[in-house]
Chain A
Amino acid sequence: MSAQPLPSNDNDVSIATIAPKQEAPTSSKKLPPPEKPSDVRRRSHVILSFWLIVLLLGLPIWWKTTTIYRADLPLEDMLEWADGKACRPVFPLRISIQATSLQDQEAQNLLRLTQHALDDLNDFAGHHLRLQMGDEKQDSADNGSALTIRLTPGEGTTATLDPYEPILDITYPQNTIPSPTASSSALATYIASQLRTTFAEEQATISYLLSTDSMPSEHRPLGLSPETAEALAKRTTRSLKYAPTYHLTFSLFTSGPLPSSWDIETAIEEYMKPVLDVLSPIHNFTIDTQVQLYASPGVQNEVLNKEDLSSFINAAEWPLSPSIGGAPTINFIVFVGNQTIASPSQEAAPTSHSWLIPQWGTVFLLSLPGDTTHVAAATLKQPLLTFTSHLLSLTGTPESGSLPLRLSTLARIRSADLLLRASSTLGSLARLAMALPSISIPSSVADGVTKTMSHLRLACDNLGGTEGLAHARIAEAEAERAFFEKSMVGQLYFPDEHKIAVYLPLLGPVAVPLVMGLINEIKAWRKRRRERAEKGAEKKGE
């Protein structure tokens, strides 16, 4: 501002105050007194120091406090997992053959031929059945085999699944044992086809899972027939998403004042607990029960047709969703009333009493004599058995095969499912991190991602085995935690107008004198330099 001529009265004052120290100007025109070089220097120092503070202190602080912390994520690896490139899900199922009656040589030969036949039948590389010779004493659970084939000589060729253990009993007539030189054998083919039927459902389910995921097409397994695909789609729609714990709610709703109590504890103990026990390696269950009298259903018709059933649940008034804990709830409802379900055809087909609501639970209509006050455990047998079988299908248990096989298949299906879900969560997180550059990524997310990937790797390597499920479960939980990290939120997008509106009132008044001072100082410096140059030229001229 020193370049501008100052108002005259200001000038007067300044002269008046500093006049005693200075000699009065000789000319009649009032001019500001010449500045002392030390004052000029001091002023430039002042301006310089202000700018230094702004640049060296203010700017870094501003930068530090406004940048968004983004931990480094291994984006490429994450996307590889999501695209299925990092892991080729293979389920090497070991099947041991116990053939005590056969000689070693014969058994080996049979094994080789059966394996050959299996390989010929198999069109899905991911799901591979591998035969091995079993030791008689060894338990099937110990050596990690999924199924044991017990060969015993008998009258004809038969195959039965042992109901208690994963054992396939095969009897064969003595003459069907292949000779060491034979290149094919009827018995071997028979065993192979039996094995294939046993594992058909598992294979179809897993290949369906893989096909619905974002696997690249060359990893995609066999073509499923439309019917199978539809049935599988229906089943996956029905079953709940995997959770380590499910909460089971048993509710007794009555249309009137009676019955007012039920012997549910005994009934559960008797009819459901065994199934819960066998499911326990895969899921935990918590249970609560409730009774509500005078409960009116959503539909009042005497005879319920299929459309009424979907609105039968009176969601507004029935207390069905306890918000206890974090586990998803499966509802089992016994409704005591006089309503019946219309049979689909007009014939006198046996009427059903229950229906299943996908991913939700089951309703069972129980008609009792009007004066029953207490529902005995024996009366609850039929409802509880229905609930039990529905529970299995709600948890996604396969439908064919013996129970032990169904359960081990469930474990494998669930580990594949969890693996795919964790991978796709990783992919989502990676894409999100790329798409939203202003989202903050705390280091806990990066930790979670690392953990997820290491567990995914372990799960992928042990898919056929038992640790696979455990690792997949951890991986999935970690991936979810990383994705849903609490601090990765807030308003992400600020329009430029908002930024200006915030910064301008703050920085404007400060910036104007700073910038003007700097400009003036530069101007003065250039002027001085020019003058000095002129002086130098004059001196030379002299």
Chain B
Amino acid sequence: MKRPRQSRPSSTHLPQHHDLPTNIINTTKMKLSSLLLPAFLLAGPSLAEHTSNWAVLVCTSRFWFNYRHLANVLSIYRTVKRLGIPDSQIILMLPDDMACNPRNAFPGTVYSNADRAVDLYGDNIEVDYRGYEVTVENFIRLLTDRVGEEMPRSKRLLTDDRSNILVYMTGHGGNEFLKFQDAEEIGAWDLADAFEQMWEKRRYHEILFMIDTCQANTMYSKLYSPNIIATGSSELDQSSYSHHADNDIGVAVIDRYTYYNLEFLESEVKDTSSKKTVGDLFDSYTYEKIHSHAGVRYDLFKGGAEEARRRLVTDFFGNVQNVEVDSGKGETNASFEEEMVRLSRTIAELHTRAEEQEAAERNATASAAKTGKKQQQPRKIQRVAKPLTDDNWWTKKIVGATALAGCAALWGLGSYLEGVV
């Protein structure tokens, strides 16, 4: 049942919207008399910039012995918050509440290190999806934004083609799947399709996909949408190990891959002005530290490995906004703006006056029309009962009738057979 993915004309059809400022295809339209010049490419110097940063941080396992997975996610959450991504742009999915677990020796806290220096569950934490809300369906809905009207904005991924997204996942996984809450799993294909739907709808500029599970690298092997840098903790048939346990808490508190990522982010990326690149981050992974072969996938990225490695860490983990400082010509500006406000007031007045006039005219004609129409109005007949929707009305009737007839026939058959015996 493999679907014909290969035949998809993705490379030719994909809109290359995000990078247009760099190469605008510039066709010079000539007048009739002149020759037709071939289209030429303008390689502008300006970089395609992103204007917002989002983070989707997902833990997929519950229960006390998976304490470390929640700690993983919470430490990444703290890091992106430290680097300036506001809570409204972080989607945090936690299937369990370790802080309130009765087995927690330090109630109300979650630590990712045995030194217990930083309480990850301190004040100011906003969990968007918790408990049984963390499902594969909700995750895919979040990515593709196929949610109902009732979903609040804070639980939606409201990205556009200028948004960089960090997707971090952790949990228990296997070859091409990641288990969600012991009940279901997300496959690598599902993930790839979700990203493709996002790309089709221009819902991201660039994505950094990061996953810390056993056989993590298989999860990104099926991705096929452009502008994604993917990295995982371990290869096929490799486990991803925990870093250390806290004897008082009684379980492992963090995974190795996440631990060394954090170490890099804490020591090298102190604030948003850091110039460390994603390449530097990936180079810091070694087998000696992580005890598994961390993988990186660059081929989806436009410009390949070279370009991808040059992206700053803060392009994904931080919130870098380009600001435009005003010229500060205080007084002259003010008078200009004041003028504008004055103008708009006059224009608005003109508009309302015109509208009033129009409304008056309309009223006049309407009332004239009304007198003519008055006789027709009482004819309107109010129906006594009306089905609210009339689609499938007949089908429903037929189904009902058939069911009734079937029951009657069965009953008749039963009594006939009884009589025969």
Given the known inter-chain contacts A220-B27, A278-B351, please indicate yes or no for A357 contacting B137, CB distance below 8 A.
no
Q: Could you tell me if A431 and B200 are in contact, using CB atoms closer than 8 angstroms?
A: yes
Q: B386 near A: Cβ within 8 Å? A: no
CB–CB B24/A221 < 8 A = no
Q: Which A residues lie at the B interface, using CB under 8 A? A: 123-125, 139, 141, 163-165, 211-214, 217-218, 220-224, 226, 229-230, 233-234, 237-238, 241, 271-272, 274-275, 277-278, 298, 306-307, 309-311, 313, 315-317, 320-321, 323, 326, 328, 341, 343-344, 349-360, 381-382, 385-386, 388-389, 403-404, 424-425, 427-428, 431-432, 434-438, 483-486, 488-496, 499
Query: A238 to B321, alpha carbons, bound, how many Å?
Result: 11
A224 touching B24, Cβ below 8 Å: yes
Quick one: CB contact mask for B329-372 with A, threshold 8 Å, 1 for yes?
11001100110111111111011001000000000000000000
List residues of chain B with CB within 8 A of the CB of A218. 27
Contact: B146 with A274, CB < 8 Å?
A: no
| A-contact bits for B1-31, CB 8 A (1 contact / 0 none) | 1010100101001010100110011111101
Q: A431 to B193, Cβ gap below 8 A?
A: no
In this complex, what residue of B is CB-closest to A311? B272
25 interchain pairs, CB-CB under 8 A: A164-B343, A211-B24, A217-B39, A229-B26, A233-B44, A238-B324, A272-B341, A313-B84, A315-B85, A315-B319, A316-B124, A321-B154, A350-B330, A354-B325, A355-B324, A357-B321, A360-B52, A386-B333, A432-B197, A432-B200, A436-B193, A483-B201, A488-B146, A492-B189, A495-B187
What chain B residues lie within 8 Å of A427 (beta carbons)? Answer: 13, 15
Q: Nearest Cβ distance between residue A454 and chain B, in whole angstroms?
A: 20
**CB pair A274 B145 closer than 8 Å:** no
**Which 8 A-B pairs rank lowest in CB-CB distance, beginning with the nearest?**
A352-B328, A315-B86, A321-B88, A277-B348, A274-B345, A274-B344, A385-B337, A233-B21
Number of B interface residues, CB 8 Å? Answer: 87
Complex CA gap A321/B21 in Å reads 30
Other A-B pairs beyond A238-B324, A274-B343, A309-B323, 11, CB < 8 Å: A141-B354, A217-B27, A217-B39, A220-B25, A224-B24, A229-B44, A275-B340, A321-B88, A352-B325, A386-B337, A425-B201
Tell me how far the C-beta of B215 lies from the nearest C-beta in chain A, rounded to whole angstroms: 15
Task: List chain B residues, Cβ under 8 A from A326.
Answer: 153
Q: Is B327 an interface residue (CB 8 A)?
A: yes
A316 and B81 in contact, given A163-B343, A355-B324, A493-B189 (Cβ under 8 angstroms): yes
Report chain A residues within 8 Å CB of B348.
274, 277-278
Q: Are B20's CB and A233's CB within 8 A?
A: yes
Cβ-neighbour of B160 out of A241, A310, A356 (below 8 A)? A241
Query: Residues of A contacting B84 with CB < 8 Å?
Result: 298, 311, 313, 315
B158 → chain A closest CB, angstroms: 8
Q: A73 CB to closest chain B CB, in angstroms?
A: 14
User: Which of chain B's residues have a CB closer than 8 A to the CB of A278?
Assistant: 344, 347-348, 351
Q: Would A403 and B343 count as touching, CB distance under 8 A?
A: yes
In the bound complex, CA of A1 to CA of B145 (Å): 57
Residue from B44, B85, B148, B348 having most chain A Cβ neighbours under 10 A:
B348
Please indicate the chain B residues that have their CB under 8 angstroms from the CB of A310 in the complex: 272, 320-323
Q: Which of B29, B141, B321, B337 is A389 in contact with, Cβ under 8 Å? A: B337
Interface string of B139-182 (1 = CB under 8 A from A): 01100111110001110001010100000000000000000000
Of the listed residues B85, B328, B342, B346, the one surrounded by the most CB atoms of chain A closer than 10 A to its CB is B328
Report if B51 contacts A (CB, 8 A).
yes
Q: Which of A139, A311, A352 contacts B326 (CB 8 A)?
A: A352
Q: Take A484-B145, A493-B187 as given contacts and tell me if A382 and B26 are in contact as well, using a CB distance cutoff of 8 Å.
A: no
Is the C-beta of B136 less than 8 angstroms from some C-beta in chain A?
Answer: yes
B58 CB to nearest chain A CB (Å): 16
What chain B residues lie within 8 Å of A483 (beta carbons)?
Answer: 201
**CB of B407 to closest CB in A, whole Å:** 17
Q: How far, in whole Å, are A351 and B329 apart by their CA atoms in the complex?
A: 8
Alpha-carbon separation in the docked complex, A309 to B321 (Å): 9
Q: Which of B15, B141, B334 makes the CB contact (< 8 A) with A385?
A: B334
- Inter-chain contact A237/B27, CB cutoff 8 Å: no
Across the interface, A350 reaches (CB within 8 A) one of B1, B145, B160, B329, namely B329
What is the minimal beta-carbon distance from A314 to any residue of chain B, in angstroms?
9
CB distance A388 to B88 under 8 Å? Answer: no
Q: How far is the CB of B329 from chain A (nearest CB, A)?
A: 6
Contact status B321-A486, CB under 8 Å: no
How far, in angstroms, from A382 to B137 measured CA to CA in the complex?
Answer: 49
Q: Who on chain B is nearest to A241 by CB?
A: B160
**Contact yes or no, B44 A226, CB < 8 A:** yes
Instruction: Tell me which residues across on chain A come within 8 A of B146, comparing CB atoms.
Output: 484-486, 488-489
- State in angstroms the CA–CA spacing of A403 and B351 once bound together: 14
Separation in Å of the B141 CB from the closest CB of chain A? 6
Whether the pair B338, A385 counts as a contact (CB closer than 8 A) is yes
A57, chain B: closest CB distance, angstroms = 12
Contacts of B202 in A (CB 8 A): 424, 428
Contact indicator A352/B46 (Cβ below 8 Å)? no
Q: Which of A237, A353, A357, A425 has the most CB of B within 10 A?
A: A237
Q: Is B405 an interface residue (CB 8 A)?
A: no
CB < 8 Å neighbour of B273 from A234, A307, A381, A436: A307
A315 contact set on B, CB distance < 8 A: 81, 84-87, 319
Kindly identify which residue among A124, A275, A316, A428 contacts B87, using a CB–CB cutoff of 8 Å: A316
Interface residues of B in 19-62 (CB under 8 A from A): 20-21, 24-29, 31, 39, 42, 44, 46, 49, 51-52
- Whether B193 contacts A492 by the Cβ 8 Å rule is yes
> Contact partner of A223 among B27, B144, B346, CB < 8 A?
B27
A320 to B158, CA, bound (A): 16
Q: Which residues of B contact A432 (CB under 8 A)?
A: 196-197, 200
**A424–B51 alpha-carbon span in the complex (Å):** 21
Q: Does B271 contact A (CB under 8 A)?
A: yes
Is there an interface contact between A124 and B29, defined as CB atoms closer than 8 Å? yes
Closest residue of chain A to B320 (Cβ to Cβ) is A310
B280 within 8 A of A: no
Contacts of A238 in B (CB 8 A): 324
B196–A435 contact, CB under 8 A?
yes
**Residue B299 interfacial (CB < 8 Å):** no
Q: How far is the CA of A528 from the CA of B347 in the complex (A)?
A: 101
Closest to B141 in A: A489
Q: Is B190 an interface residue (CB 8 A)?
A: yes
B328 and A353 form a contact (CB under 8 A): yes
B326 touches A354 (CB 8 A): yes
**A438/B200 in contact, CB under 8 A:** no
